[in-house]
Structure 1
Amino acid sequence: MSDDLPLQLSLEPPAEHEYLGLRTAAGLSAMSPEGARAGLPASWCAACLRHQGELVGMGRVVGDGGLFLFVVDIAVTPAWQRKGLGQRIMQSLMDQVHARAPARAMVGLIADGQAYRLYEKFGFRLVAPGAHGMLLRL
């Protein structure tokens, strides 16, 4: 990870239009404006990386804040990928989780493709075959 990149880290969710744009630019599934409008302010914690004001990376943790938390929206714009930004975002989120979440809280995520390798660096472990992640898309 390069520490000399001129990036600003903020611990707040992105604006709705930034969120929707970065998700699709980074190859994540599209979400609805209505969903973003309702969901972003309900983030338990968030991290955004900006270059000259432009959102280039983001991540959030959602959940009830006591028992269950879920890491979502780890995304970096293609021009900034492979520069350690995903790791920087995850470190920021995990710092917040370790500082604020109660003992024994369960923190989960769904890793696409080889992304599980990043998450393993933060203590996450694959659960299959003992358990299987499931998803219902509305």
Structure 2
Amino acid sequence: MEYEIRATVPSVETYLSLREAAEMSPRSREGVERGLPNSLFAVTAFAVDTAGPEGGTGAAETAVGMVRVVGDGGTVYQIVDMAVHPDHQGEGLGSAILEELLAFLDEEAPPNAYVNLVADVDGFYERFGFEETRPASKAMFLRTGSE
């Protein structure tokens, strides 16, 4: 299996299916349709089957990973929606898509911008220089009403 990493926002269907496959909390289709176009930057990983569809020619591809950054584009950036389909974990895709996103931030974010994320994996983000905020601060959340 070959993989391609592209600076592109995932489709609504890809976003919803990758979050489900990665056992992340659900998001409403309405919210996803509104939110994805407002991404400051996004990276999507694709599995490419160079043999093409059964008996056919050409390459078939499937989105298998994603990460986005949202924020005001100047003072604060939040890394969100980091997901790799379980069938494709262990191939370095998480690192590859995060590195692409961090390269964007290195190029575009002004000095002293605040980049944050909510991590659910111990040790992964620390390799990229992220630090826990406690005890100086704590992360909090509020979820709006359900459908």
Q: Which one has the largest radius of gyration?
A: 2
Q: Determine if the TM-score, normalized by the shorter chain, exceeds 0.5.
A: yes
TM-score, normalized by length of structure 1? 0.92
- 2:34 counterpart letter in structure 1: A
1: CA distance, partners of 2:142 / 2:97: 26
CA shift, 1:120, in A, is 0.8
Which residue of structure 2 lines up, in the alignment, with residue 39 of structure 1? 35
* Structure 1 position 103 matched with structure 2 position 111: yes
Structure 1: gaps of 5 or more residues: none
Structure 1 stretches of at least 4 aligned residues deviating more than 4 Å after TM superposition: none
Which residue of structure 2 lines up, in the alignment, with residue 85 of structure 1? 93
Structure 2: gaps of 5 or more residues: 49-60
* Structure 1 position 30 matched with structure 2 position 30: no
Identity of aligned residues (%): 40
- Superposed, 1:1-138 pairs within 5 Å as 6-52=2-48, 53-112=61-120, 115-138=121-144
Any idea what the Cα deviations from partners look like across 1:20-49, whole Å, max 9, x if unmatched? 010010111110101110110100110000
The number of equivalent residue pairs is 132
Say what the alpha-carbon RMSD is for the aligned residues. Answer: 1.0
TM-score, normalized by length of structure 2? 0.87
